[in-house]
Every structure is written in structure tokens, then in C-alpha cells.
């Protein structure tokens, strides 16, 4: 079976790109399940119930989040009502929502989806993502052999290390958060598909999705300059992973990049 994962959707630009292309990608590639990172879908920060519903209407089956998962307070009760929007499962305390789910794909195959957050360059309060992955994968054992993990984090080393740690236990370990796609997609020896960062879906002529002039001003002055999602041509970044539904082992991973002229 084929799984599609779309990288961080940024603002209205990313949402419109998803609406325009996701269903076609699903149909053309025979996608069993489409997972979308919606971390920045609402104006560049977080997710709202309305933007979540927009992503689902565009064709997403599961939405994963990241460090901005709770930025929009209206999303908190929504997370209690749905099992298809996932916040990081290694967030400390007892946050609303859930960090993993098993869902049925378009032909009835069951797929587990897990959302994790890295600790390197992140708040020290986060729980260990490696231990959290151990716990969640043990909970999913017996429900499905196919598991896709979204590891949201800054450090390439941490995301790569997690992929190696989960090699043979997860079907795919896919990095998000930096909004910059890496060209290291591969199948690890144990059958886990991995890529350090999938990239983003949103404005192409931008600095991680935001207006370059504002980002430059913030970096040069070290002052808090409010950022805005950029406009102009759009890009969609993702990966397609081929997985044996019986064993959960991946046998193919391919980057997807759609870009407007």
C-alpha cells in the first residue's frame, strides 16, 4: 500500500495548495492514507477547528501537529472530540487530545500514525521522544503492522537517530518542522523509510513560509518583529511511502514536490 505524507502546511497559501492538489495526488498514486502536518495551517501558527476541517475536506485523513499545537486555544476542545488530529505524544503532563491513532485507509488497511516532538533546541520540559515512541509502538502492537511516525524537531541528528532507533519497528519515520526538504530519503536495513525533513506546503518565495523582509529585520535587529505568511507562488512538499501491510516493512520512498511557475 502507498502512504502519502505532506509537510507543514503554512497559512492560507498552504491550505489552498492542498485543496488544489491533494485529491489528485491521492487518486493518481493510489494512496491508501494521506497524513498532513497542519502545525502552521492557521495564519502560520497552530490550527483551528475551521482550518482542520478545511484540511480534512481537501483529502487529509489524519493531521499531525508540533510545537504550536496549543497556540490556538479554540483547538483544545476540538482535540477532545476527534482522534484524527494528533499533538505530540511526548508532551508532558496530561494535555488534551492524543498523540497516536490507528485508522482504516481507503481499501480497509489499518495504519498507525504517531506524532512526536524532538527535544534538541526545544523546551527542556518535553518528555523523551525515544521512550515515548517505545511506549506508543507497544500500545499499537497487535492493532496494525504499518506505523507512520512524524518527528517534529529542529535537529537533523535527533530526527535521524530516532529513525535508526525505530528501524524495523516503524514503517516510516518522517521529519518535519524546519520547512526545508532534505534529499536523504532512504530505506533503512530493518525496513523503515526515513527522511530528515519533508519540507513545507505554502509560499515558495519565503523564509520558512514567512515574508523575507520581516524575517531579515527580526534577525538583524534582534527585536520582536511580527511575522506574516508570504504571498506569491506556492509549493507542496511531501513523500510517498510504499509499505507491505502484512509486515509493516517499507520498500520504497519518493519525494513529492509540486511548484507553481
pTM of the model: 0.97
How many domains is the chain partitioned into structurally? Answer: 1
Domain span at residue 220? 2-259
User: What per-residue confidence (pLDDT) applies to 261?
Assistant: 75
**What would the pLDDT profile of 113-169 be if each residue is shown by its tens digit?**
999 999 999 866 899 999 999 999 999 999 999 999 999 999 999 999 999 999 999
pLDDT for 199 beyond 90: yes
**What would the pLDDT profile of 26-74 be if each residue is shown by its tens digit?**
999 999 999 999 999 999 999 999 999 999 999 999 999 999 999 999 9
CATH number at residue 106: 3.60.21.10
**What would the pLDDT profile of 147-158 be if each residue is shown by its tens digit?**
999 999 999 999
Cα–Cα dist 154/171, whole Å: 22
**What would the pLDDT profile of 45-57 be if each residue is shown by its tens digit?**
999 999 999 999 9
Rg of the chain, C-alpha, whole Å: 17
Helix (H) or strand (E) holding 159: helix 156-165
Of 220, 216, 258, 259, which is closest to residue 239 (Cα–Cα)? Answer: 258
Of 188, 180, 197, which is closest to residue 239 (Cα–Cα)? Answer: 197
Cα–Cα dist 116/247, whole Å: 23
Cα–Cα dist 16/231, whole Å: 12
The residue from 68, 117, 152, 179 that is catalytic is 68
pLDDT for 180 beyond 90: yes
Cα–Cα dist 115/92, whole Å: 14
- Catalytic residue status for 68: yes
Cα–Cα dist 180/183, whole Å: 10
Amino acid at each position: 500500500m502507498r502512504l502519502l505524507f505532506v509537510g507543514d502546511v503554512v497559512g492560507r497559501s498552504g491550505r489552498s495548495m492542498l485543496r488544489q492538489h491533494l485529491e489528485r495526488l491521492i487518486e493518481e498514486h493510489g494512496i491508501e492514507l494521506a497524513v498532513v502536518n497542519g502545525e502552521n495551517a492557521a495564519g502560520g501558527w497552530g490550527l483551528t477547528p475551521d482550518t482542520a476541517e478545511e484540511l480534512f475536506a481537501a483529502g487529509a485523513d489524519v493531521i499531525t501537529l508540533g510545537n504550536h499545537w496549543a497556540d490556538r486555544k479554540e483547538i483544545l476542545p476540538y482535540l477532545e472530540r476527534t482522534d484524527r488530529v494528533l499533538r505530540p505524544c511526548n508532551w508532558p503532563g496530561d494535555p488534551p487530545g492524543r498523540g497516536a491513532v490507528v485508522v482504516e485507509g481507503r481499501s480497509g488497511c489499518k495504519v498507525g500514525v504517531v506524532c512526536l516532538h524532538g527535544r534538541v533546541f526545544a523546551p527542556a520540559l518535553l518528555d523523551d521522544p525515544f521512550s515515548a515512541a517505545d511506549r506508543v509502538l507497544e500500545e499499537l502492537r497487535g492493532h496494525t503492522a504499518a506505523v507512520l511516525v512524524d518527528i517534529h524537531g529542529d535537529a537533523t541528528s535527533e530526527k535521524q537517530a530516532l529513525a535508526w532507533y525505530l528501524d524495523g519497528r516503524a514503517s516510516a519515520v518522517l521529519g518535519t518542522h524546519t520547512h526545508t526538504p532534505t534529499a536523504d530519503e532512504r530505506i533503512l536495513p530493518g525496513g523503515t523509510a526515513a527522511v530528515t525533513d519533508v519540507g513545507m506546503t505554502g509560499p515558495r518565495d519565503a523564509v520558512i513560509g514567512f515574508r523575507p523582509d520581516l524575517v531579515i529585520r527580526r534577525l538583524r535587529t534582534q527585536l520582536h518583529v511580527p511575522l506574516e505568511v508570504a504571498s506569491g507562488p506556492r509549493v507542496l512538499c511531501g513523500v510517498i511511502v510504499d509499505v507491505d501491510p502484512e509486515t509493516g516493512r517499507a520498500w520504497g520512498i519518493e519525494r513529492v514536490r509540486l511548484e507553481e511557475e
